[in-house]
Chain A
Amino acid sequence: MMPQTFPDQHLKGSKPLRYADKIAEIEAELDAIHPGWSEPVKSRRGRGMKGTIGIEDIELKARVKYLLQRRKHLYAGKDWEVVIKSITGGNGQVRLWAMPLIPRGGPTPEQIAAAAVTPLIETKAKAEKTATPKAPAKAKSKAKAKPKAKPKS
């Protein structure tokens, strides 16, 4: 018999190195507060939503949703903070949504640093490789032709 597959069997997988520590921390907390979080959803009792992977307690559900959302973004290489929206619908049912706080206003400081440093190193290395021996001589002759003016006393 072929094993049945579930859509959430991917929940535990290889972690990107950059945020491996944070992901491990999140997964440890998930293991502690909601054991079996990465297991397939086997059944839903009754009609409608009974909560995140079977959680009835709103506060616990909010924490699990927060951690799952953070984890998803970390896997995608994005260290985005997450906010949980608690909405009471017209029927009085409290529902929770997890959403990221996407940074505004261009790249993050890390992205700026990466973009600034990498090309400079490459450019410098290329310049050293392609530099002609005449370049220093020109610099010397320029130095001789235009001596620095002495500061006026």
Chain B
Amino acid sequence: MAYSTVVKTKRDGLISICDDSGFAGSNTLDLAFEPGDFSMNAPQENRLNFLDRGRLVSSVRYGDDQALTGSFSVYFRDTTDAAAATLMDILNQSGYVSTAPWVGTLGANAEVFTCDLRLTIEGTDHGDAADHTITITDVSFDYTMAEGDPNVITVNWQSHTEIRPTLA
């Protein structure tokens, strides 16, 4: 397979969230009505530089892992629903998400509710060998909401088990 020469844009993306049953399970939400501003920050391991009397020595080492974090925004459409998973129900673990229920990817008994998060990017329509995915496992969410034209929910996420996403 060769390195694609087609630059991808927000028109190509799809954000999906799933519970422990995976992306083929029934507890999956594919987001729609969004500006297309998914972002990811992967600082990975902290790199430690050492100084010999003020000068860098060539003995760089890894320090602590740094959290894989990011954000995305979605236009507000609905709060809660008893029969279908809404984004706000996932964020609050309420409504259908709590009664169905969604099981966190760290297990039903885990204190922190986590999901898997994935950005899928269209590839085959551009002549690539396949579509492209960036998957982040065991993600917890926090969010803000702002009224406006339109109302917008901004979701911040962080992975609790990975410092690098799974690329496919």
Are the CB atoms of A99 and B120 closer together than 8 Å? yes
Stretch of B46-54, B88-96, B124-132, B140-148 on the interface side: B124-132
| Closest A residue to B118 using CB positions | A99
The 8 Å CB contact of B127, one of A13, A51, A53, A80, is A53
- Residues in A whose Cβ lies below 8 Å from that of B129: 8, 10-11, 68, 71-72
Most interface-central of B2, B30, B120, B129 (chain A CB within 10 A): B129
- Residues in B whose Cβ lies below 8 Å from that of A64: 124
Contacting A at CB under 8 A, from B12-33, are 14, 16, 22-24, 30, 32-33
Contacting B at CB under 8 A, from A11-47, are 11, 13, 40-41
Give Cα A12–Cα B4 distance, bound, in whole angstroms.
15
A-B contact count (CB 8 A): 92
Asked if B166 lies at the interface with its beta carbon under 8 angstroms from chain A, I say yes
Q: Nearest Cβ in chain B — how far from A111, in angstroms?
A: 15
Do A98 and B131 contact each other (CB < 8 Å), given the known contacts A9-B2, A13-B1, A75-B1?
yes
| Closest A residue to B3 using CB positions | A7
Stretch of A83-91, A116-124, A132-140 on the interface side: A83-91
| Closest B residue to A69 using CB positions | B130
Are the CB atoms of A102 and B135 closer together than 8 Å? yes
Total contacting residues, chain A, CB less than 8 A? 39
- Residues in B whose Cβ lies below 8 Å from that of A148: none
| Closest A residue to B34 using CB positions | A90
Q: Nearest Cβ in chain A — how far from B14, in angstroms?
A: 5
Are the CB atoms of B22 and A104 closer together than 8 Å? yes
Give Cα A53–Cα B127 distance, bound, in whole angstroms.
7
Give Cα A98–Cα B130 distance, bound, in whole angstroms.
8
Give Cα A55–Cα B115 distance, bound, in whole angstroms.
34
**Which residues of B are interface residues toward A (Cβ below 8 A)?**
1-2, 4-6, 14, 16, 22-24, 30, 32-33, 105, 118, 120, 122, 124-131, 133, 135, 137, 166, 168
If A7-B128, A51-B125 are given as contacts, then 9 extra A-B residue pairs at C-beta distance below 8 Å, sorted by A number, are A7-B5, A8-B128, A11-B129, A53-B125, A68-B129, A71-B130, A73-B168, A85-B16, A88-B32
The 16 listed contacts between A and B (C-beta, < 8 Å) are A41-B126, A49-B125, A53-B124, A64-B124, A65-B130, A69-B130, A69-B131, A75-B1, A76-B168, A85-B14, A95-B122, A98-B120, A99-B118, A99-B131, A101-B24, A104-B22
